[in-house]
Structure 1
Amino acid sequence: MAIKSMTGFARAEGNVAGFAWHWELRTVNGRGLDVRLRLPSGLEQLEPKAREAIGRHLSRGSVTVNLATTSTGETHELHLNERALAQVMKAAERIRELTDAAPPRVDALIGIRGVLDVVEPEENEAETAARGEAMLATLDQALGALVGARAAEGGRLANALSGQIDEIERLVAIVRASPARTPEAIAARLKEQIARIMEAGTGFDPQRLHQEAVLLAAKADVEEELERLTSHISAARELLAENAPVGRKLDFLTQEFNREANTLCSKANDVEITRAGLALKSVIDQLREQVQNIE
């Protein structure tokens, strides 16, 4: 089965020349593909290609993508501000003249703000582009892991859906085999209903009697609903076997299941059929809840 869930999480990280990053991806249910992409300032140029990559891997779900970056400091350079140092030394010498203080220590001098600066080397266009491509390659890794996680969850969902469809089939079989649906049982109920109508009325109305008999006979017949439910069961199993996103189709199919179950319950004139119909509606509701998670 190729069912995929819309729920998943993945993380991937990388680094290039003292610059590290990691992507975090989270997905939950969504009617379409809704992407929320959060990039650090200065990396906005990655957004078009990042969205394109997400679209290649995912077709449905609400997707949150976060990129976090850190600098490891491996390429940083120290810059001595000689002008600032000269001013500090001059001030220190004047302080010594006024107070007879000890000469300043080197570690104290370089600790003064502005004397020693940490400078990041300027990056050329080629280096910036190469780093961007490396970051996008890591995003592809994260997306691959996310698709795998959604497929694993989809496998569990498919098993649950298959079990629910089996239960629907079992309940349909119970209704189909119910003794209350035999011609003899239907005829007996019609006779009872006709007898009540005759007793309640002050006179015999053949037209009314005919209408009531037709209505009761039609209400007792749920064969059409059973045939449609059987057809829906086959369609659901075919969708579960497809190697493509089928969430929307299954969602529509569960609505059709529910419609037939409602009609069957409204026609039910026997306790056993009513009980099976209500159980059928309960299983269909569970099926629909699960289907909401499918891509």
Structure 2
Amino acid sequence: MVRPPSLLSMTGFGRAEGQVGDMTWVWEARSVNGRNLDIKHKLPPGHDGFEPRIREACTKRFKRGSLQVSLSVKRNTVNQNPSVRINLDMIDFYLAEGSALIAAGQVLPPRLDGLLHLRGVLEAADTCEAVEVKASRDAAILEGLEAALDQLLAERQREGDGLFDVFTQNFSRIDELIRQADTAAEAQVLAIRDRVHKRAVELLGEVPFDPQRLAQEAAALALKSDVREELDRLAAHLTSARTLLNHGGDIGRKLDFLAQEFHRESNTLTTKAATIALTNIGLELKALVDQLKEQAANVE
């Protein structure tokens, strides 16, 4: 089977870091299983404008998965002016709004450390940064976003390569078990006939019985235990699964559906099994199908 170039898992991690001017930044991108593409982000204050770029970059690369993208930044403020200032107007506002409560003795006069925790009191200092400087810095940081997502994509592709090998081995074993079940199904008809005859002898002893009637009973039981239809459907599902795997791309939902179909047919086959050999084949087939379902859930 030719290996597809784009089979992706849904789990992975990407990271990129760098420095521009006095600011260091780190992007981290994590991905886990998800029914659809769910993008969450965590951005520091002042960088909310990156959200559209995050969504655009993620949707360009991925179709499914739960993604968490985060950015952390840090300024080197050694020997520099503080990067925050106290907004005295906001303090005056809070004091004015609470003056009646203070005068009535309902609350104690506020302390400075308490005031500093109020929204809007501490704010970024106005450094009169040139628009060109900020644009250049943001461009560099966003290049880091692309690098982190590229790393995440590469890791998901590596895991996808591993999943391809797992699926290939799984399908080969399922194919082998279908052939074994086909042989066991033929032997099952003879086993049922012999079992019915043996049971009749045990129950009737020396009493004569009609061989034709016995053959009819054996045929009815064999018909109920016939697994040819299940084997044909299993073979058809296997062909579809191999075609999907060879095609690659976002095949996770289709593989998951086929895994459910495999599960249904393997259950029926095991239920109809009338010999130990066919029962054991059915049980092993069910175990392989369970593995298939687990792995399919991690394919984009």
Shorter-chain TM-score: which interval?
Answer: 0.7 to 0.9
For 2:243, give the aligned amino acid. Answer: E
Distance 1:171 1:243, change over 3 A: closer
Q: Deviations over 1:165-188 (max 9, x none)?
A: 111112111111116546544544
CA deviation vs aligned residue, 1:31-54 (integer Å, no higher than 9, x gap) = 111112000011111111111111
Query: Structure 1 residues 18 and 210 mapped into 2: Cα distance closer, same or farther (>3 Å)?
Result: same
Output the amino acid matched with 1:142. A
The letter for the 2-side match of 1:171 is: L
Of 152, 156, 177 in structure 2, the residue corresponding to residue 146 of structure 1 is 152
TM-score normalized with structure 1 length: 0.75
Aligned partner letter, 1:274: T
What CA deviation, in whole Å up to 9, does each residue of 1:118-176 have, x standing for no partner? x7732233332332222222111111111101111111121112111111112111111
- 2:87 corresponds to: none
Deviation per residue, 1:245-271 (Å, 9 max, x gap):
111111111000000001101111111
1:229 correspondence with 2:238: no
Aligned-pair distance for 1:215?
A: 4.6
Mapped to 2, the partners of 1:70 and 1:46 lie a distance apart of: 17
Unpaired segments ≥5 residues, structure 1: 79-118
2:168 to 147, 162, 167: 162
Q: Which amino acid aligns with 1:228?
A: R
Structure 2 CA distance for aligned equivalents of residues 11 and 131 of structure 1: 18
1:31 aligns with 2:39: no
Corresponding position: 1:173 with 2:202: no
Unaligned runs of 5+ in 2: 83-124
Aligned to 1:82: none
- Deviation of 1:55 after TM superposition, in Å, equals 1.1
RMSD, aligned CA: 3.0
Match of 2:111 in 1: none
Matched, 1:134 2:157: no
Please name the residue that 2:116 is paired with.
none
Contact 2:193 2:218 in 1 (8 A): no
- The structure number with the bigger radius of gyration is 1
Partner Cα distance (1:74, 1:185) in 2? 87
Q: Do the aligned partners of 2:174 and 2:285 also contact (CA within 8 Å) in 1? A: yes
Q: Work out whether 1:281 is the aligned partner of 2:299.
A: no
Shift, 1:209, TM fit: 9.1
Partner of 2:260: 255
What is the CA-CA distance between 1:222 and the residue it aligns to?
Answer: 0.5
Corresponding position of 1:246? 251
Name the SS for the 2:9 alignment partner.
coil
Residues 18 and 144, structure 2, Cα contact 8 Å, conserved in 1: yes
Aligned residues: 249
Structure-2 separation of matches of 1:5 and 1:23: 21
Q: Which residue of 2 aligns with 1:103?
A: none
Query: Structure 1: which amino acid aligns with 2:69?
Result: V
Query: Which amino acid in structure 2 is aligned with residue 270 of structure 1?
Result: T
Q: How has the CA–CA distance of structure 1 residues 251 and 40 changed in structure 2, closer, same or farther, with 3 Å as cutoff?
A: same
Which whole-Å CA distance do the structure 1 matches of 2:57 and 2:170 have between them? 35
For 1:129, give the aligned amino acid. Answer: A
- Aligned equivalents of 1:39 and 1:291: distance in 2? 33
> Is 1:265 equivalent to 2:270 in the alignment?
yes
Tell me what 1:87 maps to: none
Q: For 1:163 and 1:178, how far apart are their aligned partners in 2? A: 22
Q: Per the alignment, in what secondary structure is the counterpart of residue 11 of structure 1?
A: strand
Read off the aligned partner of 1:40 and give its amino acid letter.
P
| Aligned counterparts, 1:42-121, within 5 A | 42-73=46-77, 76=80, 121=127
